[in-house]
Structure 1
Amino acid sequence: MDSDDPGRREGGPRRAPVSRSGRGRAAPRRTSGRSAAPRGAGQGRPGRRPRPAPRPEVPRPEVPYQDPAGYEAPYDDAPYQDQAYQDQAYQEPVYAEAPRETRRPAKGRKRPSGRGGSRTPRRPAASGGDPGSARRPRAALGSRAYFGAAGALGAVVIVGLGAVVLLRGGDDPVPTHAPAAVIGRPAGSGPSPTSYSSSPTSAAYAGIAARTSDAGPLTAGEAFPPSAATVSVPDSDAKLTLRTKRLDGDCAAAVWGATVAADLRRGGCTQAARGLYASTGRGERAYGMAVAVFNLAGSADADRFVGLLDRTRGGGFVRPPAATGPLGAFGQGFGMARGLAMGHFAVVSWAQRLDGGGDERDETLLSLLIEGGKAPAVLGRAARAPR
């Protein structure tokens, strides 16, 4: 059978067409771009034209399947990917701000280190290590620096005198029941000293720090024993004698000013013992001294009271007992006073020249303040208190 017979090649594989003019030679291969019929195709060509019909059977390329553009186009245009990408770009500034927040605490850490470095030299200054800051108050206060040194020396003397009282024993038995505090209405006006200083209590009076352990009220024998009838000033010819004395159950009678009386009420003051001394000399060298002892509830009340007198001076202070003669003008002119907290007792001494003269350089006045602080009643109780 002829190889060009269309009936024979219908189900067989495709063969390259053979030229009739020259059998055995392969005809030129068709290309997809050639539309013209091959050379020498006579009656065989009409049978070959239906051959391309199977081509649609081979899905090459399948238009419905291999149209990725049609399938992926909605995915590429999906707003979700665009938003996801844009979210990252939007979050970058937020994430970039995180280092800024970490840098701010870092700066904060440097500031305390800088401040700590500046505080280090300041702490010794606050504790009194700066000699310049310690000299300025002394220069401004004048005699108060002397009072500080004299007070320390006086504390040593007081402890020594307390031991003497302990050896001798008390003049009167000490009652064991404390009276109730009664504070009346104080005077609205009165005198005040020119200068004043105070000192808190010390360990020497720890045995009488609270009135609960020293409940007995003061007696006249304790407050004004025979040994306290005169006061002598060391290294001086001045000698003062007790002229007037009072022991009041109402502490308001011993002060003036509502603020001072209110503090005594707060401190539970139950008694006030006052004495007024005058020297035997005449003229400009005559001296006077007033001493007041307040019986308070505790050492904290005594500390507060002696400190308050410096702030209320001019608007409230201790009242000297009434007297006649030259002592009637006590409190007028230049005067110096000092308050001492001694356990639950507060002792205030006030010295001046009877002519109203003098100044802070008068050593006799300074010595009188020290001697006036040696209240025999307080020293005796401190010496007898258990330690």
Structure 2
Amino acid sequence: MSRQGRRQPAPRRTAPGRAGGPRRTPPSRRPAPRPERPAAPPPRPPYEDVPYLEGPYDDGVPPEDAYEPPPGAAERGRKPKKNGKRPKKRGKAARTARPSGRTGGQERQGGTARRAGGPGPRLYFGAAAALGALVLLGAGAVAVLGGGDDAPAAAPPAKIGTPAGTGVSPVSYSSSPSSDAYAGIASRSADPQPLTIGEAFPASAAKLSVPEGKATLKLRAKRLDGDCAAAVWGGSVGAELGRGGCTQAARGIYSDTGRGYALAVAVFNLAGSADADRFVAKLETTIGAGFVRPLEAPAPLDAFGRGFGMARGLAMGHFAVVSWAQRLDGKGDEKDETLLSLLIEGGKAPAVLGRAARASE
């Protein structure tokens, strides 16, 4: 059989009604309508978006004289920050204190004892200043009972030599200008009588005691120099004394060897209260490069000035009084109440207080 005569396959049957017609497509399914979203609320004004100002204690920048909380207090009281908010700037509570301590040319310890929990020198010295009027009254009574019948004499002209080039300095020093309590001796022309060693360190000042009996110091040595350069070291300090017309320097040194405390006192006779103010302030800038020389004395006072020491300069009319306290072992700090008390006692110069009391009568 030829290929043309081969049996052909039967045609495919289709479903009735669908042959030759177009294929129907199922109807499309429409998605259910979605609910409309609510419109976004308008943005809040800037003055409402302040989440950290709800409480009274904000961590913003306080004024310069505001109290600084202890470290960590601001962190404990701060509210948690919200996501997406820019962190606020830190305030001044995180400021670090300046380094304390001063040896040689280092910065002196201004107020560190009070921050560390101690009372601080300013508290003691402020209380001492408040009692100044009572001290002057007592000194006036002593001066009247003790005499003072010597006729005033003209002070010799200033003679300033060359001070020593090296010496020791305290770690801490503060100064105070003269006050109205010494107006009667504000100038040497109104108070021309020269100092004597007996007036500067009388028998009543042979011992110095601090409150509560923590120490009783005895006068170990005293000296009066007509050349003020002998009582200081450092060229700038000597130049300041020459500028101020210094004519006398009286020095004494005390110690309590049992309790281990020592005190050096120096009294300078200058031309006027402005000169005394300038001199005691000058010593703040010369620590490590010039200061008052403690009077030489036998051991253990031969080591005075080594280690920690505190000094205080007072302008009292035309006089400048510098007291310097320390422990004999060179230890201690500004929280030592005995050292602070010794500085106050050393500033009660009998000669100066007596003259101021007599001038105010």
Gaps of 5+ in 1: 1-128
Deviation at 1:167, TM superposition (A): 3.8
Q: How does 1:123-202 map to 2 (within 5 A)?
A: 131-132=65-66, 139-140=111-112, 142=114, 143-170=120-147, 173=150, 175-202=152-179
Aligned counterpart, 2:311:
337
With over 3 angstroms needed to count, the CA separation of the structure-2 counterparts of 1:133 and 1:190, relative to structure 1, is farther
Alignment of 1:265-344 (within 5 A): 265-281=242-258, 285-344=259-318
In the alignment, the residues of structure 2 paired with residue 198 and residue 224 of structure 1 have an alpha-carbon distance, to the nearest angstrom, of 22
Percent identity, aligned pairs only, is 64
The separation in 2 between residues aligned to 1:140 and 1:200, in whole angstroms, is 22
Question: What is the deviation of 1:166?
Answer: 4.2
8 Å CA contact 2:274, 2:318 repeated in 1: yes
- C-alpha separation in 2, matches of 1:192 and 1:159: 30
Amino acid at match of 1:132: A
Q: CA deviation at 1:260?
A: 0.3
Secondary structure of the structure 2 residue equivalent to 1:370: helix
Superimposed CA distance per residue, residues 258-290 of structure 1 (whole angstroms, 9 cap, x where no aligned partner): 000000000000000000001141xxx310000
Q: Is the Cα contact below 8 Å between 2:113 and 2:335 reproduced in 1?
A: no
In the alignment, residue 279 of structure 1 is paired with which amino acid?
Answer: D
- For residues 202-229 of structure 1, give each alpha carbon's deviation from its aligned partner in whole angstroms, at most 9, with x where no partner exists: 1110000000000110012211111011
Q: CA deviation at 1:235?
A: 1.5
Per-residue CA deviation, residues 30-69 of structure 1 (Å, 9 max, x unaligned), is xxxxxxxxxxxxxxxxxxxxxxxxxxxxxxxxxxxxxxxx
Specify which of 360, 370, 373 is matched with residue 334 of structure 2: 360
Distance change (3 Å), C-alpha of 1:363 and 1:169? same
Q: Which residue of 1 aligns with 2:187?
A: 210
- For 1:238 and 1:141, the matched residues in 2 are separated by 21
Q: Secondary structure at the match of 2:284?
A: helix
CA distance in 2, matches of 1:141, 1:172: 46
SS at match of 2:195: coil
How far does the alpha carbon of each residue in 1:66-89 deviate from its partner, in whole angstroms, 9 at most, with x for none?
Answer: xxxxxxxxxxxxxxxxxxxxxxxx
Question: TM-score, normalised to structure 1's length?
Answer: 0.62
Shift of 1:147: 4.5
Would the alpha carbon gap of residues 140 and 219 (structure 1) be closer, same or farther in structure 2, given more than 3 Å must change? same
- The separation in 1 between residues aligned to 2:113 and 2:272, in whole angstroms, is 29
Relative distance call for 1:134 and 1:141 in structure 2 (3 A) is: farther
Cα distance, 1:173 vs structure 2? 2.2
CA distance in 1, matches of 2:339, 2:149: 32
> Does the 8 Å CA contact 2:136/2:354 hold for their aligned counterparts?
no
Q: Is the 8 A contact 1:171 1:221 kept in 2?
A: no
Which structure is higher in RCO with an 8 Å CA cutoff and minimum separation 6? 2
Q: Which residue of 2 aligns with 1:372?
A: 346
Which of 257, 262, 267 is the matching residue for 2:239?
Answer: 262
Q: Secondary structure at the match of 2:167?
A: coil
State how many pairs are aligned.
Answer: 256
Q: Is the 8 A contact 2:262 2:326 kept in 1?
A: yes
* From 198, 201, 224, the counterpart of 1:221: 198
- Matches of 2:209 and 2:323, distance apart in 1: 15
- Off by >6 Å, runs of 4+ in structure 1: 133-138
Unaligned runs of 5+ in 2: 1-62, 70-96, 99-109, 115-119
Alpha-carbon distance in structure 2 between the residues aligned to 1:167 and 1:336: 33
Judged with a 3 Å threshold, the aligned counterparts in structure 2 of structure 1 residues 131 and 158 are, in CA distance, closer, same or farther, namely farther
